[in-house]
Each structure stands twice: as structure tokens, then as C-alpha cells.
């Protein structure tokens, strides 16, 4: 078994008396899509926050590529290769689409304490940024303003930003939320391609997408991992069916 | 020792005045997310009106009483003319527009009353001094100010914590949309808070008029110290404003009184006086910077901090 | 390319007009002095515009940077040093150092706290300046001589002083424009719009903001040193918080997001102040309300006026959107 890219060990987080993350341990291997599913309020977003570094866990640790990153802030984790997409789209609205991605390329290529040379004409950066946009099918919109994009395009842009960071792990918080059927199909294809290169931790509500994409699935219920296994194992798990899938299939 | 006691009393009294101004500023900011540089103008106005009416009616106390409605009316007028158009604008616009209001009203004070400090009637009906310790007389009026500093915070606490309006104000500070969804006219609530804050600041100015020089620009010195008070105490927190106002009042007063003497132990008299004076006027800012380095949200973080 | 040209057209025209003034002989020395003062304020305003419009840092203590630069000139003058190769670097370094120390503390906060803290540090500088009894305390200090450049009295002559200020203004404007377009400026602008995104791609915004704060401080110091020379006088009043408010107003009056707007704002401000103070004794009674009106109605400043006029001409009374938004 290869060394895990991401490992959570006994992560706990309480809000007052409420345990939103309750002793969560899981791993993401290189070139694996590990999906986290669970009913609303199961603590998926809180978990993502602790992995990306916006929230500190009360107990437990986060290991990234064998290194304990529990105490590192967001930007340090990002530099180590942990890229994140947000549940609510987070882009720079006043930048062009290309410049949004170029910012991410710039972050990993040399110092940004350069004051005089126009950043917009750095060919190497623009080339990499454009490549990332091509990968998500947004190259045609490179010159448009980011805030003029449609909702689905903004989701694609977020993904392009994440890819442009050349990360080792992608942390995707509901990348399909709000996307139309056509966009969803394209994004699923894209995620399948991305798996060749990155480990992916995927939080997603679209069950069809999750079951067709994920190598392993963890079910989060009331902040705990109720079960982890392959898609087939999770489908067969009676406890999971009762706690979660049953309701969802009815819905 | 007696000197120290006198300075502590002076410091408390300055702190009380700061609290009266800062409380309104902090409430307005907490509830409306509106930063009002012109709040100090109310303080100046209170002082001028109290002084003018006091001279005219030959009674400081009547002047004080009349200063309250005038401050209230001017506050409401400014709110209606200028401030309400700024609630939805960014802080930068708020700072600049209220800065324009200050320039205008300071100039108006200069035009009406001149640049020189005003003569103010002394409050009658009080004994000149009260012996608070063997051989130490302290002006009775200054004790009255400290007394106000006990009564007004209690009153405010009661209003904010125990009345329906206070409940709405607290709720409005946390979530204005929700409160208006409950069918409360948030704009009227804002106006009410604003009017109340203006009156408190005017009251502070009137109280201060026999003790501090009444001159154009007097409001801004107090205002900037009030910002320090709010930053130290935590935005939107009345409790924090009270603690911080007393702290700032004491530090400022004691620093000015004691630092030059303390430095004389280290330096020659003339440079001790000079350095001491400089350090004393910087002291509150140094304390604020130090505090912020460790607690960026202030002592008692308010709902918005 | 075409877009770049149109963007540069307005500032280029502005600089050309300023360059033409001393050779047209308009209004004599008085006009030159007035414009010199406006350009010096413009230098400070451009640096503040870099902070406010570029980095999103609303500083209400920028006058302190100017004041420190001015006091550096005065202190060296009192020590008998008037060589510009010493005076100007000292003024810049002193202001930059102050910006570094106060910026490191201030940048721990954001939003309104940042406004209040920069104001408080400005007051600190003000009180310090008032306590320099060897430099006149509250009364201020009159320079013995203007600063020399490599021993030559270049700044004595009205016209050459004007041209030096114009050159420096152009340099500062060009430098700040380049900075905003550079890698550094990109991080700064992105962090203004969406700090979370900037962190998520791996930048910590604080070092970038601090460097910008120090650079703006140094330029403010330069402006202060020039202003001390222009008036041959330095006093704590130049550090007062109202001066900081005025600088902020210049930036907004000219229009945020366009660095040359700050220069337009400075010109408009100085000319208006001059004109009004000749008309009325209590001229601020007119000026104050004008300021309020400008903030309320001139959203994009003078530099954005053509666009605003176009928008107004299309305006129909549909009752303020702002009001209906709270229903």
C-alpha cells in the first residue's frame, strides 16, 4: 500500500457541547478519489475547513505527505500542494479569468516581490494559466471579467485555479453544486482525468457522480465516520442505508 | 499621596466624559456599522450651547439642561441631511463625509463664537470644595461628574439589557436583516439610537464646559481618544467602552501628571519635562498598540468584532 | 495595446499641461507656487491612492508620513545640513521606518480598526512633533535655507523647483502604476478583493501589504520634504489628523482606482481652497458642504466624471434602488 498523501488522525472539533467533528480518521492515497458523503449538518464543511487550515481542530492531527501540518496556516498548506475549491465560489471578481488563474501560477513560480515588470505580459505564467483554463474547458473565456461568468463557469474557474497551483491533493467542496446537467457531465469527465495526477478528496451531494467517480467513500454522520469502503461496500452497508442512503433515495 | 489621589479623581472624571461620548459612538457603530467622525461635534456643540445659554440665563444648570435638546435636534438634523445616506456606503465614504461635517461645523463655531476659548459660568449652588481627606479639598462639581459616571452607565445598562428597545438594539447589532424581518422598522430604531448617542455626547460637552477650555476643535481631541477607547474596549460593547474609557482617562491624566517627575530621576529637568510631556501624550496610543498586538478585537469583543 | 493607450491618454495630457504652465507665463510666480504645492500634495496623494485603491488599506494617518519627512528637513537644517543627497534619503528613510513599525502593528487589524489605528499613530507623531522644543514646539520651525542639490541652489528658483516637483510627481506616478501592474501589485489587488482566495493559492497578504505601506510611507516622506522646502517652514499642523483627512479626500475626489485621479484631486483641492479662502473669511463653511456633496454624489471622482455624466444622462427617476433594497 502506497504512503497516504493525506492522513487525518483522530480529528475532533466541538462547538460548545456539539461535536461537529468526532474522532475522524481517514486517508487519501495518491491518484485516488476519496469521497465524503453524509446528510446535511454531518460536519463535512467543518472537516474541509480543518484540512485546508481555516479552522484548527481541538484534538487530533492532519498529516500531508507525511508531514504534520496541523499548526500551519492556509497559505503554507497551499504552498505544500494542498489546493482547495470553495463550496461558495471564491474568485477575484475584478480580475479577468486569465488573471485569476495567473495569480495561482504566480504563487508557485518564483518570488512575487517583483515590483516593476508588468505581470500581465509574463509569457510563461500566461501559458500555464491558459493551459489550466483549457483543461477545464474555459480557455475561450480567458479575457472576460471573472464576475461576468455564469455560475457554472465560475465553478470551472475555481477548478482551473486549483489545477494551476500544480497541487498534490485537491480538496473539492461540492464542485458540482448548482451546475446544469451538461456542465455536470463535463465536470465529471474532468475529475476522472484529474485523478491520474492528483489525490482528490471530494465532498459532493450528487450521489450518482460520487458512486461513479470515487475509489473509496466515507460516510459522515453526526461528525463521525460511520463507514468507509468502496462504492459497492458502501451501497451494501445496512447501517449506511438506514442512516443516509435510504432518505436520500426517497428524496 | 494626596496628589496621586487628586490625579486619580481627575483621571476618573476625564474617563467619565470619554465614556459619554464613546458610548454613543460605539452604539452607532455597533448597530448601524456607521463610523461617525462628526460625533465629536456634538460634544463641542453641547459645550458651546451650555456656555452660551448659561451666560444668558445666568445659570450653568439651565444651560446644561438646554444643551440636551439642542444636541438632540442637531443630531437628528445631521442624521436626516447627511448620515442616513451613508449607512449603505463603505467606511471610507463615511469617514470622508463626516469629516466634511466636522470642517463645516468647526468653522461655524469659529464664525459664531470666535477662535478664542469661551468664558463659561461656574456651576452655582455647589460648595466650592469638599474635604475628601484631611487637608485635601476637591472641587464639588468634579465629584458630580464622577457621580454621573456611575449613574449613566447603570442607566444605559438597564436600557440595553432590560428593555424591549434595548433588546432590539442588541439584536440589530448582530443581525439587522433578521430584526427588520420581525417587522421592526430598523430605520426608526437607528434614528433612535443615533439621537440618544448625540444627546449623550452633547451632555458630555455641557458637563465638561466648566472644566475644560471651550474652543473650536475641542470635539476632535475627544473623538480621537474615543476611538482609542472603542478600539481598546471592543466595538459595540458598552461594558468595554466603560472599562476602556476609565482606563484611558486614568492613563492619560496620570501620565501627564507623573511622567515628567518620574523621568527627572533619569534625565536633567528640562529634557525630563520635554520627554515626559511627549511620552505622556503618546501613552494611550502606546497602550492601544500594545493591546492590539495581543488582542486585536479589544478587551470585550462586541457582536461585530 | 489600444486599451493601454487610452488608459495613458488622460495622465499624459495632464503631465503635458503641467509641463507647459511655466513656459506660458500664466499668472506669474503666484500660480507656479500654488501649482507646486498642489503637485507636492499630489505626490502624497498618489502614494495614498496606491494604499487605498490598490491595497484596500484606508489609512487616516498619512499626514504623519509627510510630517516626518518635513521634520527630517527641519532637523537637518537645524544641524546645518542642507545637501539634498543627505536630506532626501534621510526624509524617505525616516518616514519608511515609521511606516514599517506602525504598519506592522496596524496590519494586525482590518477595516474600521485599521482606520482608527492609523489615526491614532498619526496623533502620536503629531504630539511628538509638538514636543520638539528645539524645533519650535507648537510654533514650528522656519528653515534657514532650502535644500541644495549637489551644492547647487536648484530649489531656490521658483521655476526649477516647479519642474523638479513635476518630474518627481511623474516618477512617483509612473512607479506606482508599474507597481500596481507587477506581480506584487497583482497580489495586493487580489488580496483587496478576496483575501480568502489569495490565501488559498498560497499567499499570506500581510507581508505584501506591509511592503506597500512602507513604500507609500517613503513617498509620503518625500512629499513632506518637498513641502517643507516649498513653505520653508515646518510645524506640527502639517501632521494634524485633518491633513490626513484632506489627503484621503484628495484621493477620493480625484477618483479611486486611477492613480492620476489623485493628482487631479490635489489640483482641484488646492485651487478650490485658494479661491474660496479669498472669497470668504470662513471659507470652510462652503468647503465642508462641498466635500460632503462630493462624497455623496461623485462616486467615481473627477477622473470618472465623463463616465458618471454619461450615466446621469441616461438616468430616469425610478426611485432610489438603495432604498428599495432594505424593504
What is A1-81+167-251's CATH superfamily? P-loop containing nucleotide triphosphate hydrolases (3.40.50.300)
Closest approach of C131 to chain B, Cα-based (Å)? 5
Chain A interface includes C156 (CB < 8 A): no
In three-state secondary structure terms, A229 is strand
Measuring CA to CA, which residue among C4, C110, C55, C73 is closest to residue C225?
Answer: C73
Q: pTM to 2 decimals?
A: 0.89
Distance CA A228, CA C60 (A): 55
**Residue C4's pLDDT band (boundaries 50, 70, 90)?**
low
Q: Angle at the Cα of B239 (from B233 to B244), degrees rounded to 5?
A: 35
pLDDT value at residue B212: 86
Inform me whether the pLDDT recorded for C247 exceeds 80: yes
Chain A interface includes C208 (CB < 8 A): yes
pLDDT value at residue C257: 75
Domain ranges of chain A: 1-81+167-251, 91-166
Distance CA B115, CA B107 (A): 9
pLDDT value at residue C323: 36
Q: What is the pLDDT of residues A101-112, one digit of tens each?
A: 999 999 998 888
Across A148-162, B62-76, B132-146, B247-261, least confident range? B132-146
**Residue B169's pLDDT band (boundaries 50, 70, 90)?**
confident
Give the ipTM.
Answer: 0.89
Structurally, chain B folds into a number of domains equal to 1
In three-state secondary structure terms, C67 is helix
Picking from C183, C196, C208, the nearest residue to A119 by CB comes out as: C183
Inform me whether the pLDDT recorded for A12 exceeds 60: yes
Say yes or no for a CB contact (<8 Å) between B235 and C112.
Answer: yes
pLDDT value at residue C266: 94
The set of long-range contacts for C144-148, using a CB threshold of 8 Å and a minimum separation of 24, is C144/C77, C144/C82, C145/C77, C145/C82, C146/C82, C146/C229, C146/C232, C147/C73, C147/C82, C147/C83, C147/C84, C147/C87, C147/C88, C147/C225, C147/C229, C148/C82, C148/C83, C148/C84
**Residue B27's pLDDT band (boundaries 50, 70, 90)?**
confident
Q: Collect all residues of chain B within an 8 Å Cβ-Cβ radius of residue C252.
A: 92-93, 96
Distance CA C226, CA C147 (A): 9
Average of per-residue pLDDT across C186-215: 95
**CA-based nearest residue in chain C for residue B92:** C58
pLDDT value at residue C316: 52
Average of per-residue pLDDT across C155-171: 92
Residue B266 sits at φ, ψ, to 5 deg, of: -105, -35
Say yes or no for a CB contact (<8 Å) between B92 and C52.
Answer: yes
Cell of residue B285, nine digits:
496610543
Average of per-residue pLDDT across A218-223: 88
One of 1.10.20, 2.60.40, 1.10.390, 1.10.3470 is the CATH number of C8-325, namely: 1.10.3470
Inform me whether the pLDDT recorded for A183 exceeds 90: no
Residue A67 sits at φ, ψ, to 5 deg, of: -115, 135
Q: What percent of chain A has pLDDT over 90?
A: 44
- Picking from B103, B187, B241, B305 by the largest number of C CB atoms within 10 A of its own CB, the best residue to mutate is B103
Say yes or no for a CB contact (<8 Å) between C242 and B111.
Answer: no
Q: List the beta strands (DSSP E) in A123-236.
A: 169-173, 199-203, 216-221, 224-229
Query: Domain containing B103: what range?
Result: 2-294
Inform me whether the pLDDT recorded for B104 exceeds 80: yes
pLDDT value at residue C326: 35
Closest approach of C183 to chain A, Cα-based (Å)? 5
Say yes or no for a CB contact (<8 Å) between C190 and A86.
Answer: no
pLDDT value at residue A1: 61
**Residue C164's pLDDT band (boundaries 50, 70, 90)?**
very high
Average of per-residue pLDDT across B74-86: 89
Strand partners, C141: C234
Picking from B82, B103, B293, the nearest residue to C105 by CB comes out as: B293
In a domain, B138, yes or no: yes
Residue-averaged pLDDT of chain A: 87
pLDDT value at residue C325: 34
Q: Collect all residues of chain B within an 8 Å Cβ-Cβ radius of residue C257.
A: none
Q: What is the pLDDT of residues C81-103, one digit of tens each?
A: 888 899 999 999 999 999 999 99
Q: What percent of chain A has pLDDT over 70?
A: 96
pLDDT value at residue B143: 84
47-86 in chain A: CB under 8 A from chain C: 52, 73-76, 78-79, 83-84, 86
Q: What is the pLDDT of residues B224-273, one digit of tens each?
A: 889 889 888 887 778 888 899 999 999 999 988 888 788 888 778 777 77
Closest approach of C216 to chain A, Cα-based (Å)? 13
Is the Cβ–Cβ distance between C304 and C263 less than 8 Å?
no
Inform me whether the pLDDT recorded for B167 exceeds 50: yes
Q: What is the radius of gyration, based on Cα positions, of chain A? A: 18
pLDDT value at residue C306: 74
In a domain, B305, yes or no: no
In three-state secondary structure terms, C186 is helix
Chain C residues interacting with chain B (CB cutoff of 8 angstroms): 52, 58, 60, 102, 105, 108-109, 111-113, 115-117, 119-121, 123-124, 127-128, 130-131, 133, 241-242, 245, 248-249, 252, 281-285, 287-292, 295-296, 322, 325-326
In a domain, B168, yes or no: yes
Inform me whether the pLDDT recorded for C191 exceeds 60: yes
- Pairing between strand A169-173 and A82-85? parallel
Closest approach of A109 to chain C, Cα-based (Å)? 11
Higher pLDDT, B94 or C133: B94
User: Based on the number of CB atoms within 10 Å of its own CB, is A189 exposed (0-12), middle (13-18) or buried (19 or more)?
Assistant: exposed
Across A13-22, A122-131, B158-167, least confident range? B158-167
CB contact set of A214 (below 8 Å; sequence gap of 6+): A33, A34, A35, A202, A231
Distance CA B209, CA B199 (A): 15
Inform me whether the pLDDT recorded for A251 exceeds 60: no
Give the chains touching C; criterion: ≥3 Cβ pairs < 8 Å: A, B
Is the Cβ–Cβ distance between B245 and B234 less than 8 Å?
no
Strand partners, C234: C141
Q: Collect all residues of chain C within an 8 Å Cβ-Cβ radius of residue A90.
A: 194, 196-197, 200
**Residue C312's pLDDT band (boundaries 50, 70, 90)?**
low
In three-state secondary structure terms, C207 is helix
- Kindly report the CATH number assigned to the domain that includes residue B8: 1.10.3470
Closest approach of C51 to chain B, Cα-based (Å)? 13
pLDDT value at residue C321: 38
Average of per-residue pLDDT across B169-189: 70
Across A124-133, A164-173, C21-30, least confident range? C21-30
Chain C interface includes A88 (CB < 8 A): no
Q: What percent of chain C has pLDDT over 90?
A: 53
Average of per-residue pLDDT across C242-263: 89
Q: Collect all residues of chain C within an 8 Å Cβ-Cβ radius of residue A113.
A: 183-184, 208, 211
> Does an interface of 3+ CB pairs under 8 Å exist between A and B?
no
Give the chains touching B; criterion: ≥3 Cβ pairs < 8 Å: C
Q: Collect all residues of chain A within an 8 Å Cβ-Cβ radius of residue C183.
A: 106, 111-114, 117, 119, 122
Residue-averaged pLDDT of chain C: 87
Amino acid at each position: 500500500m502506497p504512503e497516504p498523501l493525506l492522513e487525518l488522525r483522530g480529528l475532533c472539533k466541538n462547538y460548545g457541547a456539539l461535536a461537529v467533528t468526532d474522532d475522524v480518521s481517514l486517508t487519501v492515497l495518491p491518484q485516488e478519489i476519496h469521497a465524503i458523503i453524509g446528510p446535511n449538518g454531518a460536519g463535512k464543511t467543518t472537516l474541509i475547513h480543518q484540512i485546508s487550515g481555516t479552522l484548527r481542530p481541538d484534538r487530533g492531527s492532519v498529516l500531508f505527505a507525511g508531514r504534520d501540518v496541523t499548526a500551519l496556516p492556509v497559505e503554507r498548506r497551499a504552498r505544500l500542494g494542498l489546493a482547495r475549491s470553495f463550496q461558495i465560489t471564491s474568485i477575484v471578481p475584478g480580475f479577468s479569468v486569465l488573471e485569476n488563474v495567473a495569480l495561482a501560477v504566480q504563487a508557485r513560480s518564483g518570488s512575487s516581490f517583483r515590483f516593476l515588470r508588468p505581470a500581465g505580459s509574463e509569457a510563461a505564467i500566461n501559458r500555464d494559466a491558459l493551459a489550466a483554463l483549457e483543461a477545464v474547458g474555459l480557455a475561450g473565456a480567458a479575457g472576460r471579467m471573472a464576475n461576468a461568468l455564469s455560475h457554472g463557469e465560475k465553478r470551472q474557474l475555481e477548478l482551473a485555479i486549483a489545477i494551476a497551483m500544480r497541487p498534490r491533493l485537491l480538496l473539492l467542496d461540492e464542485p458540482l453544486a448548482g451546475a446544469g446537467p451538461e456542465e455536470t457531465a463535463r465536470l465529471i469527465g474532468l475529475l476522472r482525468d484529474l485523478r491520474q495526477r492528483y489525490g482528490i478528496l471530494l465532498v459532493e451531494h450528487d450521489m450518482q457522480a460520487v458512486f461513479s467517480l470515487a475509489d473509496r467513500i466515507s460516510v459522515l454522520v453526526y461528525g463521525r465516520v460511520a463507514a468507509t469502503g468502496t462504492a459497492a461496500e458502501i451501497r451494501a452497508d445496512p447501517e449506511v442505508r438506514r442512516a443516509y442512503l435510504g432518505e436520500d433515495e426517497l428524496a | 499621596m494626596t496628589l496621586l489621589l487628586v490625579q486619580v479623581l481627575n483621571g476618573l472624571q476625564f474617563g467619565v466624559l470619554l465614556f459619554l461620548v464613546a458610548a454613543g459612538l460605539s452604539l452607532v457603530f455597533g448597530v448601524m456599522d456607521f463610523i461617525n467622525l462628526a460625533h465629536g461635534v456634538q460634544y463641542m456643540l453641547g459645550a458651546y450651547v451650555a456656555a452660551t445659554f448659561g451666560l444668558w440665563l445666568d445659570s450653568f444648570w439651565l444651560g446644561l439642561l438646554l444643551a440636551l435638546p439642542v444636541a438632540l435636534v442637531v443630531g437628528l438634523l445631521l442624521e436626516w441631511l447627511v448620515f442616513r445616506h451613508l449607512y449603505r456606503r463603505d467606511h471610507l465614504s463615511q469617514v470622508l463625509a463626516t469629516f466634511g461635517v466636522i470642517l463645516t461645523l468647526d468653522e461655524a463655531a469659529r464664525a459664531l463664537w470666535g477662535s478664542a476659548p469661551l468664558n463659561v459660568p461656574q456651576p452655582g449652588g455647589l460648595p466650592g470644595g469638599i474635604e475628601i481627606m484631611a487637608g485635601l479639598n476637591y472641587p464639588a462639581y468634579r465629584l458630580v461628574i464622577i457621580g454621573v459616571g456611575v449613574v449613566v452607565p447603570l442607566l444605559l445598562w438597564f436600557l440595553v439589557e432590560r428593555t424591549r428597545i434595548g433588546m432590539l438594539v442588541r439584536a440589530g447589532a448582530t443581525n439587522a436583516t433578521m430584526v427588520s424581518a420581525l417587522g421592526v422598522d430598523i430605520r426608526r430604531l437607528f434614528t433612535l439610537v443615533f439621537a440618544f448617542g448625540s444627546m449623550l455626547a452633547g451632555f458630555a460637552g455641557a458637563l465638561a464646559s466648566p472644566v475644560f477650555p471651550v474652543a473650536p476643535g475641542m470635539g476632535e481631541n475627544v473623538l480621537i481618544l474615543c476611538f482609542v477607547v472603542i478600539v481598546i474596549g471592543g466595538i459595540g460593547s458598552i461594558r468595554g467602552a466603560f472599562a476602556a474609557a476609565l482606563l484611558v482617562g486614568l492613563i492619560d491624566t496620570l501620565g501627564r501628571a507623573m511622567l515628567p517627575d518620574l523621568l527627572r530621576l533619569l534625565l536633567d529637568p528640562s529634557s525630563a519635562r520635554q520627554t515626559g510631556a511627549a511620552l505622556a501624550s503618546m501613552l494611550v496610543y502606546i497602550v492601544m498598540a500594545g493591546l492590539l498586538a495581543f488582542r486585536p478585537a479589544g478587551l470585550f469583543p462586541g457582536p461585530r468584532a | 495595446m489600444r486599451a493601454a493607450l487610452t488608459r495613458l491618454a488622460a495622465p499624459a495630457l495632464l503631465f503635458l499641461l503641467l509641463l507647459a504652465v511655466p513656459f506660458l507665463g500664466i499668472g506669474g510666480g503666484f500660480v507656479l507656487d500654488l501649482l507646486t504645492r498642489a503637485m507636492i500634495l499630489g505626490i502624497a496623494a498618489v502614494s495614498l491612492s496606491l494604499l487605498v485603491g490598490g491595497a484596500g488599506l484606508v489609512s487616516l494617518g498619512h499626514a504623519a508620513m509627510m510630517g516626518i519627512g518635513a521634520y527630517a528637513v527641519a532637523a537637518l537644517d537645524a544641524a546645518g545640513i542642507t545637501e539634498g543627497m543627505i536630506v532626501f534619503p534621510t526624509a524617505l528613510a525616516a518616514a519608511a521606518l515609521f511606516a514599517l513599525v506602525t504598519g506592522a502593528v496596524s496590519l494586525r487589524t482590518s477595516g474600521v480598526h485599521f482606520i482608527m489605528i492609523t489615526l491614532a499613530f498619526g496623533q502620536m507623531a503629531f504630539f511628538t512633533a509638538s514636543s520638539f522644543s528645539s524645533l519650535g514646539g507648537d510654533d514650528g520651525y522656519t528653515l534657514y535655507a532650502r535644500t541644495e542639490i549637489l551644492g547647487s541652489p536648484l530649489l531656490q528658483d521658483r521655476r526649477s523647483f516647479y519642474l523638479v516637483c513635476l518630474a518627481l510627481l511623474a516618477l512617483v506616478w509612473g512607479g506606482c502604476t508599474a507597481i500596481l501592474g507587477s506581480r506584487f501589485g497583482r497580489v495586493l489587488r487580489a488580496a483587496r478583493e478576496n483575501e480568502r482566495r489569495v490565501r488559498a493559492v498560497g499567499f499570506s497578504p500581510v507581508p505584501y501589504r506591509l511592503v506597500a505601506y512602507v513604500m507609500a510611507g517613503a513617498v509620503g516622506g518625500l512629499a513632506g520634504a518637498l513641502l517643507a522646502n516649498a513653505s520653508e517652514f515646518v510645524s506640527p499642523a502639517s501632521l494634524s489628523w485633518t491633513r490626513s483627512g484632506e489627503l484621503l479626500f484628495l484621493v477620493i475626489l480625484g477618483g479611486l482606482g486611477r492613480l492620476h485621479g489623485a493628482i487631479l484631486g490635489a489640483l482641484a483641492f488646492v485651487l478650490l481652497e485658494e479661491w474660496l479662502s479669498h472669497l470668504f473669511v470662513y471659507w470652510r463653511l462652503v468647503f465642508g458642504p462641498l466635500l460632503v456633496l462630493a462624497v455623496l454624489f461623485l462616486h467615481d471622482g473627477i477622473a470618472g466624471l465623463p463616465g458618471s455624466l454619461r450615466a446621469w444622462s441616461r438616468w430616469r427617476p425610478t426611485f432610489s434602488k438603495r432604498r428599495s433594497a432594505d424593504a
